[in-house]
Structure 1
Amino acid sequence: MHALCRAVSPAIADCELSFIGREPINVALAHLQHGEYVECLKKLGVSVIELPAEPGLPDSVFVEDTVLLFDELAVLTRPGAESRRAEVDAIAPAVQAVRTQVERISAPGTIDGGDVLRIGKRVFVGLSQRSNQAAIDQLASILKPFGYSVTAVPMQECLHLKSAVTALSDDTVLINPDWVDAAYFTEYRQIRVADSEAHAANVVRIGAAILMPSCFPETLALVQAAGFAVSTVDVSELQKAEGAVTCCSVLFIG
């Protein structure tokens, strides 16, 4: 397992926000927390490619939104926020170094990687403020030759699909049904986040291990009770930028 990660921009306080209010961000602490996040990935067996900070791109630590890495190819995205589109060109050289075939979403399509949840050969894409049907249609066409199916999933009250649901395994998802219709995931065992922890559904799956923020103890207990080994990390400053644990890495095999 490998991961692309990018250091925190010194301009992170100027990040895009959609569903949360703006709070002061301690940039030094954000750097420290991101470093601990990277170290946690390494402890879980991930080989991390660490990219330098982009001072002119406030959201660039959230690399997940810029590229979709599949076993067979990479797909560079076209983020829904215009201010983030330069991040795609910034990460393209690193992507080309790890995948021979690289495709790209084009206008009028917009899509953030945070809206794309892959479970095996199933790809779910959130219809959100950042991702539209035109991009979903393009992605379906790109992936069809490789045997992937793509499903558009309406959502509400959150930034990305993976704010509302992520995979714990090939047959289990962690979900907030207030933000996404659980009927789209009926073929999977569903673990619902604790009522008091609406943002807890965003976790990173690394083989049989799960990485999640340390600030959701009730949901952590539910996931552990279901038999999953969980590591936690403090990402409180990154959460002020509407980020989460999936946002800060792009995981891939080989």
Structure 2
Amino acid sequence: MARSRRATPRRYLMCPPAHFDVTYSINPWMDPAKPVDGALALAQWEQLREVYRSLGHTVEELPCEPGLPDMVFTANGATVVDGRVFGARFAHPEREPEAEAHLEWFAANGFTHLHVPVHINEGEGDFAVTASYVLAGRGFRTNPLSHGEAQEFFGRPVIGLELVDPRFYHLDLALAVLDDAADEIAYYPAAFSPGSREVLRRLFPGALVATDDDATAFGLNAVSDGLRVVLPQAAAGLCDALRERGFEPVGVDVSELLKGGGAVKCCSQELRV
């Protein structure tokens, strides 16, 4: 029998894909030879924004800047816990200016505890927050030294997890927090090293285990309010598994944004205050 679920209102930071394009390749999903339909990308992003608002969530908008085509993926720009902002430091120079743009937005919008990181980290791309832990990816982008840096700043236990499949270069492609209050997650085991799989098994014995088909459809690049789980509509198998657990999956079409290697979660930075 599925357990009873409860939605909690959320606040997200999003950035319209006014300059979205694939002009370079910094992950296995990006191919500059494939044309991008900018109008379609914007329409899909607007649909995602309206889905959040229809579910009772608040959406703040970060102004987009020319020359930063990946700025739509706001989750990479910082991690916010208890109103404390742990800034990003990008691994690739093409995205580095995004970090300053994010911190400027936070400073202008009432956030006073801001941390400029020493070590490379790509925000919620590699940090996932539950009630008990901050789960932290490493292996492709984020420097493991940033895990300790984040733990000191947030005062929460940070659990390092090794990513080994380059298709899942960020943690938020291989793991989703389904209920942060109950430490409930979904993840794709093959994306992690054997030791990290064992850590996940011990910490989250009841986790939803995703299939390869759902993971490669970016089904784990999802956003949950504890009841409604917004995810790419192509991850049909994961939608069925979520329903069995009492969640309400909300499928959206983000096919054009997938060309940049991101989906629902990548476009949605949670402002936890």
Which residue matches 1:175? 187
- Name the CA distance, whole Å, in 1 between partners of 2:158 and 2:76: 17
Partner SS for 1:135: helix
Shift of residue 129 of structure 1? 1.6
Which residue matches 2:200? 185
Partner SS for 2:263: coil
Shift of residue 84 of structure 1? 0.8
- Whether the aligned pair in 2 keeps the contact of 1:121 and 1:149 (CA below 8 Å) is yes
**Which string of whole-angstrom CA distances, capped at 9 and with x for unpartnered residues, describes residues 76-98 of structure 1?**
11011221110011122321214
Which residue matches 1:42? 53
Residues 98 and 211 of structure 1, relative CA distance in 2, 3 Å threshold: farther
Partner SS for 1:68: strand
Out of 230, 233, 236, the position equivalent to 1:214 is 233
Out of 171, 180, 189, the position equivalent to 1:161 is 171
Q: Name the aligned partner's letter for residue 167 of structure 1.
A: V
- Name the CA distance, whole Å, in 2 between partners of 1:123 and 1:236: 29
Shift of residue 16 of structure 1? 4.2
Q: Which of structure 1's runs of 4+ aligned residues deviate more than 6 A?
A: none
Matches within 5 A, 1:55-204: 55-96=66-107, 97-106=109-118, 109-113=119-123, 114-144=125-155, 148-157=156-165, 158-169=168-179, 170-180=182-192, 181-186=196-201, 187-188=203-204, 189-199=206-216, 200-204=219-223
Q: Name the aligned partner's letter for residue 183 of structure 1.
A: E
How big is the alpha-carbon RMSD for the aligned residues of Structure 1 and Structure 2? 1.6
**Which string of whole-angstrom CA distances, capped at 9 and with x for unpartnered residues, describes residues 113-162 of structure 1?**
20111111301111132101222221122122xxx001111011111011
Partner SS for 2:22: helix
- Name the CA distance, whole Å, in 2 between partners of 1:51 and 1:16: 24
- Whether the aligned pair in 1 keeps the contact of 2:177 and 2:185 (CA below 8 Å) is yes
Residues 232 and 98 of structure 1, relative CA distance in 2, 3 Å threshold: farther
Which residue matches 2:262? 243
Aligned residues: 249
Stretch of structure 1 that moved more, 216-225 or 10-19: 10-19
- Name the CA distance, whole Å, in 2 between partners of 1:253 and 1:105: 19
TM-score by length of 2: 0.86
- Name the CA distance, whole Å, in 2 between partners of 1:154 and 1:98: 35
**Which string of whole-angstrom CA distances, capped at 9 and with x for unpartnered residues, describes residues 6-41 of structure 1?**
110424222543122513221110010000011011
Q: Provide structure 2 residue ranges, at least 5 long, that are not aligned to the other structure.
A: 1-9
Out of 197, 202, 225, the position equivalent to 2:244 is 225
Partner SS for 1:86: helix
- Whether the aligned pair in 2 keeps the contact of 1:9 and 1:56 (CA below 8 Å) is no
- Whether the aligned pair in 2 keeps the contact of 1:2 and 1:252 (CA below 8 Å) is yes
Stretch of structure 1 that moved more, 72-81 or 181-190: 181-190
- Name the CA distance, whole Å, in 2 between partners of 1:207 and 1:174: 13
Residues 98 and 43 of structure 1, relative CA distance in 2, 3 Å threshold: farther
Q: Provide structure 1 residue ranges, at least 5 long, that are not aligned to the other structure.
A: none
Q: Name the aligned partner's letter for residue 28 of structure 2.
A: F
Which residue matches 2:65? 54
